A and B are shown apart, each in its own frame.
Chain A
């Protein structure tokens, strides 16, 4: 295949993509030439990386119109060549990686400073190896390549998380991440072991050809959901996200949350729709329930956070939950033989993937600028930054509105599609599921509304109001490279929101290859989204956006023309209260209080209340995640108990060890005889 491939290598999309992977690795290695040089390793090389990302995006979009391409690369171990394949699903995820990485890399070129954590050259190496491994995960066409790329991705991101390894909490967070990444990897490895189905060939082609009994197929799906769920952050395997994201530098958080989590979604889709042919309906029910719970859980926890990056981490958990409910719906429909609706749900889930990649990267990068300008991650010490950092604030507003699921931005489109899919669940030919699945729509609606609450809190506390600390007056706006990076991602939010028909057209190629049919979004008009039928539902974001702009503009002109534009400035009124201080504004705790009050049983609440006799009264509130008590602490205790029990074997006396050897020998002899 390679020999035939060489001729077209110069022009084919796969060659371009592989070129980008090699290029990124080379760019990373080049960082080691002058590791301490910020201008070279921190600026120029990240700029080159951004160009690579743009090429990746272009190649991925180009390949959507091309036939599926697969190559065998004579690399790796003897008899274990690397198989790569570029099909529509892989192309979509490569486009997702490329689109976000362009923004994140440009931003990173302006972000890293001398004297912060690891040397920029080292960061450059880890970052670009991370990028290359993510692209390889998506390209891999055999289990061996996949696992190597997957592990490289986990390790590279581990080193990126622990950039500031001198801080004990960051080391702990990194360890937790590494641990869960590997527990997940074991699940994936076992899943591939089941998938080969007795052929002992670990190429994906062999797995597609294998026929598994329904029981084994379900085992494989369960292992995949567990393994990829640990990476994606499905409850209860979500605990690493809120620790690792605040620990990592902001571009890395953006990369991990916006892009890396999607490789786990890719894995779930690849295994359950492609390698396992057709999902069984109850897998979908399981994924739906798990996703819905994850989404509500993440939204509730995001609402009470006080650390801005932790808040975004929980909101990533929420969005992963939404995506997994979409996949669950797709499996349900597919398992019960309604392929067109499976296509609709799958499109909604994948659309939300790319939307989340855009707006979450944007918001994480915005927190990075805020962190650089103020040195604060704590929401209670920020405020009023829209005056000091107008660029970051206005660009972050786009991300905020997109994430709150407001039309005409991109978050709304995928949520609209998912709700449309939910509206068909009563038609499912299964007596109980068709009653319960529509209730998922209620959980989904609650999640979306809660995320608006979270985003108002996030934006309002950081950027609006008055500065809560005096030091904030000296905050400065982001540099121009950072602005370009943010603007690219904000533009992505707008374009994905206004041109859904074009995006769904591309997604239909995936639908055709995975569920056998598309939704034909282009059927009626290029500007009107009609996923099922025109009389059933339609949404025209361009017309909608134009109407909104027209209405707002017309109002503005009419009011100004008919009346006047006079403005007087004065002190705030605030019901005539003169002694206002910035500390009287709601803090993050205050803004989250109603949610804490309503969903009390979800949290482990530790409160420190002052007594009337305290000289310096202090109030502290800590909110914990109950999964630690329910799941992780018991496991940790059990492991320690086991270790102690095993410890009895080691008493330190040489006679005892000799006795062990003797006993072993005797046992073996007994078996040999």
Chain B
């Protein structure tokens, strides 16, 4: 077994363990931008530890679907982490699932989260589920279109191949990828419940989406959901890095030196992405929920435009 495959095997667990760190980093950056000291980058871990130790309080009317759902969400996100190349393309499930399956994994997690939110039968739960599905039904096709554009350029839907191809053509300019990148960032903001679609730090009932769905969760279930949200953001950031700035990612032919360099490069790229996200969030205001479809429809149309640009100009 070569060093590359071993690294591929540790990649996914590493992503799972480091995901809360990215959230902590973003929160810390936001605190700095708002002239606060912040709680430190390790705060998400402390929160998770606290939640895991607490009892899980479950509503009387909850079915077993409600209790299974957090595990499925977490499992799905861990699966996604095993598909996405973070610092090397040897992700263990790279052949078993391509970008389309990756979109499917995200959809699986979303559907289970929405179903669990409807399970207790509270007004806020169903409200959150409805809004989440609304966000999802527009952002999912946008994400798929971004992937299809990248697939058309690289002639493959497999992420390792896409990354390999895109990593070698960095001198060529692909305007379609610029459109795709903007659409992707919009999808990332919407899917991860960030400003301007949702606010991760609010509990103002009428505006929330993600938080409304997890209101009834507590203890270990909430910990798993928080962790899988962190992992989802990490996954999206890793996808963005792999698609749009793939340089430095250890390809299939990478030697030991490149592999050794890939990890710090990936960490630096993710840190920059996190800081950029904090800046975007600090500079923009949250949209009214009724404006969210417009925002997402724009993302979808930009992604389709990217596809068209590729078909018109880049062949």
Name A's B-contacting residues (CB within 8 A).
383-384, 386-387, 397, 401, 404-407, 412, 416, 419-420, 422-423, 426, 434-435, 438-439, 441-442, 445-446, 448-450, 452-453, 455-457, 459-461, 464-466, 528, 534-540, 543-544, 547-548, 551-556, 559, 562-564, 566-575, 577, 580, 582, 584-586, 590-591, 593-595, 597-598
Contacts and interface: CB of A to CB of B under 8 A. Distances in A.
Contacts of B167: none
A574 B124 CA distance: 7
Contacts of A570: 57-60
B63 A464 contact: yes
Contacts of B315: 426
Contact of A455 (B56, B96, B111, B123): B111
B182 interface: no
A585 B53 contact: no
A438 B219 CA distance: 46
B129 interface: yes
A563 B60 contact: no
Contact of B130 (A534, A574, A580, A586): A586
Interface size class of B (residues with CB under 8 A): 35 or more
Contacts of B152: 423, 426, 438
Nearest to B203: A575
Interface string B128-157: 011101101110110011001001100111
Main secondary structure of the interface of B (DSSP, over half): helix
B71 A555 contact: yes
Interface in B106-126: 107-108, 110-111, 114-115, 118-126
Interface string B45-66: 0000000110111111101010
B293 to A, nearest CB: 6
Most buried by B among A404, A405, A459, A551: A551
Given A465-B126, A574-B124, A594-B130, A547 B311 contact: no
Contacts of A556: 71
Contacts of A445: 140-141, 144-145
B82 interface: yes
B30 interface: no
B93 interface: yes
A577 B60 CA distance: 16
A585 B123 contact: yes
B281 to A, nearest CB: 24
B41 interface: no
18 contacts: A404-B111, A406-B108, A412-B104, A419-B144, A423-B151, A434-B311, A439-B307, A442-B304, A465-B121, A547-B82, A547-B96, A551-B74, A563-B53, A570-B60, A571-B60, A572-B59, A585-B126, A594-B293
A544 B96 CA distance: 6
A53 to B, nearest CB: 31
A519 to B, nearest CB: 16
B75 A465 contact: no
Contacts of B124: 574-575
B207 interface: no
B65 A386 contact: yes
Contact of A539 (B98, B138, B156): B98
B224 interface: yes
Contacts of B156: 535-537
A528 B96 contact: yes
Contacts of B57: 567-570
A180 B199 CA distance: 51
B205 interface: yes
Nearest to A583: B123
A539 B96 contact: yes
B100 interface: yes
Contacts of A465: 118-121, 125-126
Given A426-B152, A460-B114, A536-B155, A582 B121 contact: yes
Contact of B126 (A538, A586, A594, A595): A586
Contacts of B259: none
A331 B6 CA distance: 46
A322 to B, nearest CB: 14
Nearest to A556: B71
B126 A539 contact: no
Contact of B93 (A460, A544, A567): A544
B97 interface: yes
B93 to A, nearest CB: 6
B97 A407 contact: yes
Given A442-B300, A452-B110, 12 more contacts: A384-B61, A404-B111, A453-B137, A460-B129, A464-B63, A535-B161, A536-B157, A537-B156, A547-B96, A563-B220, A573-B215, A574-B125
Given A460-B118, A563-B52, A423 B148 contact: yes
A580 B158 CA distance: 48
B224 A555 contact: yes
Nearest to B51: A563
Given A439-B304, A452-B133, A552 B72 contact: yes
A435 B145 contact: no
B95 A538 contact: yes
Interface in B280-315: 290, 293, 300, 304, 307-308, 311-312, 315
Contacts of A383: 121
Contacts of A419: 100, 144, 148, 157
Contacts of B52: 559, 562-563
B61 A572 contact: yes
B249 interface: no
Contacts of A538: 95-96, 98, 158
B46 to A, nearest CB: 15
A406 B104 contact: yes
Contact of A453 (B122, B136, B151, B293): B136
Contacts of B107: 404-406, 449, 452
B271 interface: no
Nearest to A528: B95
B122 A580 contact: yes
Contacts of B157: 419-420, 423, 536-537
Interface in B200-230: 203, 205, 215-216, 219-220, 224
Nearest to B104: A407
Nearest to B122: A574
A464 B140 contact: no
A598 B224 CA distance: 34
B7 interface: no
A348 B293 CA distance: 31
Contacts of A584: 122-123
Nearest to A407: B104
B78 interface: yes
A587 to B, nearest CB: 9
